[in-house]
Amino acid sequence: MLNEIGWTHVLRGEYEHALARCRQAVELHRRIGDSAGEAAALDSVGYAYHHLGRYEQALTSYRRALGVYREISDRYLEADTLIHQGDTRLAQGDVATALADWRAALEILRELNHPDARVLEGRLRQHRQSPRPTSALSG
């Protein structure tokens, strides 16, 4: 329930409030041994951090969520977290790693024959076709 309250704060753009509730949810789920709940709350924490511009903290939360999702073999939510992680990489300007995360998510969604695969395919096409930023160091 704490994660759902936190997610409601996310939807309202209240990211600091979301962090407080979702972090409580992580601890509660960990304490009671609910791995799926813990991973979901970790993903929510990462999402809130992302929207606060705290990208490294977001990525840390996503990595922890991915580890749990892989342990419990929740392939769909693993893909969902990979998409969020890719979004954060893109926000950091790391297009190549964002694309790699999204491709990994797409592979899972295709294995699951999930309709979200089409949406992600479109996103990948869009970013492959957009011009790449040039480095200030390139000639």
Supply the pLDDT for residue 19. 97
Q: Please state the pTM of the whole predicted model.
A: 0.89
Q: How much is the pLDDT for 137?
A: 38
The angle, 0 to 180 degrees and rounded to 10, between the axes of the packed helices 35-51 and 75-91 is 20
Among 83, 12, 88, CA closest to 49: 88
Q: What is the pLDDT of residues 41-64, one digit of tens each?
A: 999 999 999 999 999 999 999 999
Neighbouring CB atoms inside 10 A of 27's CB total 12
**Spatial CB neighbours of 18, under 8 Å, sequence gap ≥ 6:** 6, 7, 9, 10, 44, 47, 48
Res 130: pLDDT = 59
What pLDDT score was predicted for residue 131? 52
* Residue 98 CA from chain centroid, whole number: 11
Q: What is the pLDDT of residue 4?
A: 94
| Tally of CB atoms within 10 A around 35 | 14
What is the token pair recorded at 80? 């969902």
CB 6 within 8 A of CB 46: no
pLDDT computed for residue 128 by the predictor: 80
Show pLDDT as tens, one digit a residue, over the chain (139 residues). Answer: 899 999 999 999 999 999 999 999 999 999 999 999 999 999 999 999 999 999 999 999 999 999 999 999 999 999 999 999 999 999 999 999 999 999 999 999 999 999 999 999 999 999 886 555 433 333 3
